[in-house]
Amino acid sequence: MTATPHAHELLQVAVLAADDKGGENLVALDVSNPLPLADIFFMVTGRSERNVIAIAGEIEDKLIEAGHKPLRREGRTAGRWVLIDFGDLVVHVFHEEEREYYGLERLWKDCPVVPIELPAHKVQD
């Protein structure tokens, strides 16, 4: 199996939202083969608890604006690892220490990477 077009649409909204709030090290993995309940894991790193919460909030807000409701959310108050489940897309927003410690990329290393399209950023003079 491979991730559905719907999952790719959700991912693109999440990518733009994460990028808008300064998310770093954006990685998406196609987990549709080993996991029957999700197609894509999207992982992003925030520099601080406040940044993690802002990134997660922006992703959730933008996906809700696009007509997609989260099925569940975990970890938002602590701001260390926020998980938001949108069904086909599961978003993981990590503080950099948690991302390194838990190493989801290592756990899911056999899953193909989904290409991420980021907007070109203007260079400030």
How much is the pTM? Answer: 0.92
- d(C-alpha 114, C-alpha 48), whole Å: 26
Asked if residue 21 lies in contact with residue 50, where contact means CB atoms within 8 angstroms, the answer is no
Helix 49-65 with 5-20: angle, nearest 10 deg: 140
Which helix (H) or strand (E) is 84 found in, with range?
strand 81-85
Which residues in the chain belong to E strands, given as ranges? 24-30, 40-46, 72-74, 81-85, 89-95
* Domains of the chain and CATH, by start: 5-107 (3.30.460.10)
CB distance 27 to 112 below 8 Å: no
Q: Which residue do the tokens 């991730």 mark?
A: 3
pLDDT tens for the chain, residues 1 to 125: 689 999 999 999 999 999 999 999 999 999 999 888 899 999 999 999 999 999 999 999 999 999 999 999 999 888 999 999 999 999 999 999 999 999 999 999 999 999 998 877 655 54
